[in-house]
Structure 1
Amino acid sequence: MLAPSESLSRFVQAFFEGAGPTLTTLLNRPVAVAVREVVQLSPTEAVERLPLPCVLLEARYQRGLQGGHWITVGMSGALLLGHALIGEAEGEALEFTPAHADAVGETVNQILGAAGSSLKAVIMRSVAFEPVSLTVAEDSSGLPAELGVGKERLWLVRAEATGPDGFRVEMSLVVGGDLVREIAALGEEVGSRAPVAEAPVPVAAPSGIDLILDVTLPVAVELGRSRMQIQDILKLAPGSIIELDKSAGDPVDILINDRPIAKGEVVVIDENFGVRLTSIVTTTERIRTLR
């Protein structure tokens, strides 16, 4: 059987392979993610290495592997990431708010989606994750019981996301012994099926969001709405005027997939109508309109 450390190393590299491109897309800036350390620790030692207080995300497998693992982000890194995702200036909010939690949770879901594509090439199984569960752990008492009790050693993976303007977020992946043994067994199974001759390195499938970047979506501009009684609708005729719920000069709504993503003002461009955006939702919220 492959040594757990060897099989886990392959797993970890595949797991974080799509994290950089995913963060680059969401943050609209180049971001690289590198694995800094893979170490085996006792539960007590693992807890001591976690950056408390922290944001803890539990990622459970929907298919492909059993159980799950945890991803932790130190509070300062979670705030920095949250600021960037929802378009706040750094330091604008000093507390980790529900808006930050939604943005960070959705981002990790996107990273896991990309990881599923990469992991399939490693374990030769289709891999998918359930939506992450996010909690804030102020101290060790806020951590899951599995991280602080028991004698079985855990694997702690430290990774770092870096980008321009000093952007730097550290994250940790905590993996239990049962999952590591399953990964090692699958690695041995895949290796036994491989031909003796050296096979070409498989090209990783494009990660989640990359697969749909060239898909076109309907964009609509809504001037306003109104409600009318049926009897009034039946009286409509050419020349009738319908009063909308917006005043002249109010911004119009821009919708994608029938979901509002921005507001703007109507302009005329070469005898065609257009819209100049005055406000827009965050990149994370825009990705949600693709669902």
Structure 2
Amino acid sequence: MDGMLSQEEINALLNGMSSSDDSDKKINTQADSLTDAEKDAIGEISNISMGTAATTLSSLVNQKVVITTPVVSYATWSDLADTYDRPCVFIQIYYKDGLDGNNILILKERDVKIITDLMMDGDGTNTDGDLSELHLSAISEAMNQMMGSASTSISSLLEKRVDISPPEAKIVDLNDTIDAGDVAPFLKDLFVKVAFKMEIGDLVDSELMQLYPFDFARDIYKKFVKDKQTSNESKAVKTSSVTTNAAQSDNAGMNMEQVMQPNQGAPTIQNMQGMQNISRGVNNMMPMMQDVNVQPAQFQPFTAGVAPVVQPENINLLMDVPLEVTVELGRTSKSIKDILDFTPGTIIELNKLAGEPIDVLVNGKFVAKGEVVVIEDSFGIRVTEIIK
């Protein structure tokens, strides 16, 4: 009566606005989604590529690595912030050949520390402190080799060359103050999330995530389906060709039987013409049915005896061939961590004792021992023993 709305009318208006917003979200979700076939293709490709990547990582860390079957779903930036560890490492993967797009791998901070420690010949327990540039450099190299091998698997699957650019690793603290668009433009909206369970020996039992923009996921699916159709069409053409040739052969046989049926009296003009046509067909097939002269291979009998002696003068043919002579003072083995600690003045202990003979190698083969001498201003070696 006084122009003011009652509480019931206010509630009705609010409910109407809420239902309108919900319908908009549903429309957006339908626009940013994959069909079941597309999700299955992404899951299959991810499973194959990550299986190869796990083998590569296993060789890098010298541990058994298992990456299980992927789970494909959708997510937003806020979903990651609510469910994933802080901070974590984002590795950007850009495809430069075969595929046009990029995706992101996400690893937990502790997992990165364990992987890098194992790569540096550690036992995987050195996880104290913050992530450094050394960690990012090491994990980038690991991802480069892992995704490189994964690209090879995708190449075989799509039957075309697929290659990536060197990955870029970045520490990201998932919170509200970070703009998702600064990390990757597609993270501002809904995106495809492929989650894997990753196990590294007894040290890691964690989750590895791979994020795709919808356009890139659909592009992979289209190439996957197109290559399969092309392969099936090629097989169908070959099968059709074989079937046609077999049918022609059967028809020729049937026509011959019809013309040559017994007890039919003298051949008619039609039968004579049929025989001539068949004769032409048989003559046309003759190049495919020519006799081939097949004989068993003849080998000289083997008789044991003394090999012929090479004449000494034949060595002259090799006299001018250059060989690389190396004098080796000693060797040692160091971890990547120790090598990175090298500075001017660092002393490296070798496996040779003082006064021990020096090894002489020719083209990498150990042939002699000797001792170091000084000839004017140069070092030299006096051979003391020839290795037999």
Is 2:59 the counterpart of 1:25? yes
Is 2:55 the counterpart of 1:56? no
- Which residue of structure 2 aligns with residue 188 of structure 1? 225
- 1:11-22 pair list within 5 angstroms: 11-22=45-56
- Which residue of structure 2 aligns with residue 236 of structure 1? none
- Which residue of structure 2 aligns with residue 286 of structure 1? none
Deviation at 1:43, TM superposition (A): 4.7
- Which residue of structure 1 aligns with residue 138 of structure 2? 103
Deviates more, 1:157-166 or 1:9-18: 157-166
- After superposition, give the CA deviation of every residue in 1:91-114 in whole Å (9 maximum; x if it has no partner): 353211111111111000000110
Q: Helix, strand or coil: the match of 2:68?
A: strand
Equivalent pair of 1:46/1:147 in contact (CA under 8 Å): no
Give 2:185's match in structure 1, choosing from 124, 146, 153.
146
Equivalent pair of 2:191/2:212 in contact (CA under 8 Å): yes
Q: CA RMSD in A?
A: 3.4
Equivalent pair of 2:67/2:196 in contact (CA under 8 Å): yes
Q: Helix, strand or coil: the match of 2:130?
A: coil
Equivalent pair of 1:2/1:187 in contact (CA under 8 Å): no
Deviation at 1:187, TM superposition (A): 1.8
Is 2:240 the counterpart of 1:155? no
Q: Helix, strand or coil: the match of 2:111?
A: helix
Equivalent pair of 1:22/1:110 in contact (CA under 8 Å): yes
Instruction: Decide whether aligned partners of structure 1 residues 187 and 148 sit closer, same or farther in structure 2, where only a CA change above 3 A counts.
Output: closer
Equivalent pair of 1:78/1:169 in contact (CA under 8 Å): no
- Which residue of structure 2 aligns with residue 277 of structure 1? none
- After superposition, give the CA deviation of every residue in 1:218-266 in whole Å (9 maximum; x if it has no partner): 9x8875xxxxxxxxxxxxxxxxxxxxxxxxxxx86779xxxx8995413
Equivalent pair of 2:331/2:352 in contact (CA under 8 Å): no
Deviation at 1:29, TM superposition (A): 2.0
- 1:1-291 pair list within 5 angstroms: 3-89=37-123, 90-91=125-126, 93-140=128-175, 141=178, 143=180, 144-150=183-189, 153-195=190-232, 264-267=349-352, 273=359
Structure having the larger proportion of residues in helix: 2
Q: Helix, strand or coil: the match of 2:232?
A: coil
Separation in 1 of the partners of 2:184 and 2:149? Answer: 29
Separation in 2 of the partners of 1:71 and 1:58? Answer: 7
User: Between Structure 1 and Structure 2, how many residues are aligned?
Assistant: 220
Deviation at 1:34, TM superposition (A): 1.6
What's the TM-score, normalizing by structure 1?
0.65
- Which residue of structure 2 aligns with residue 203 of structure 1? none
Deviation at 1:169, TM superposition (A): 4.3
Q: Helix, strand or coil: the match of 1:162?
A: strand
Q: Helix, strand or coil: the match of 2:135?
A: helix
Structure 1, unpaired ranges of 5+ = 199-217, 224-250, 275-291
Q: Helix, strand or coil: the match of 2:112?
A: helix
- After superposition, give the CA deviation of every residue in 1:65-106 in whole Å (9 maximum; x if it has no partner): 111000010112112222222234513532111111111110
Equivalent pair of 1:78/1:104 in contact (CA under 8 Å): yes
Question: Which letter does structure 1 place at the counterpart of 2:109?
Answer: M
Structure having the larger proportion of residues in strand: 1
Separation in 2 of the partners of 1:168 and 1:36? Answer: 15
Equivalent pair of 1:81/1:104 in contact (CA under 8 Å): yes
Deviation at 1:2, TM superposition (A): 7.8
Deviation at 1:195, TM superposition (A): 2.6
Separation in 2 of the partners of 1:81 and 1:66? Answer: 29
Separation in 1 of the partners of 2:100 and 2:210? Answer: 16
Deviates more, 1:170-179 or 1:25-34: 25-34
Q: Helix, strand or coil: the match of 1:23?
A: helix
Deviation at 1:134, TM superposition (A): 1.1
Equivalent pair of 1:53/1:138 in contact (CA under 8 Å): yes
The answer to which structure, 1 or 2, has the higher relative contact order (CA under 8 A, 6+ apart) is 1
Question: Which letter does structure 2 place at the counterpart of 1:158?
Answer: A
Question: Which letter does structure 2 place at the counterpart of 1:62?
Answer: K
- Which residue of structure 2 aligns with residue 209 of structure 1? none
Equivalent pair of 1:52/1:139 in contact (CA under 8 Å): yes
Larger radius of gyration: 2
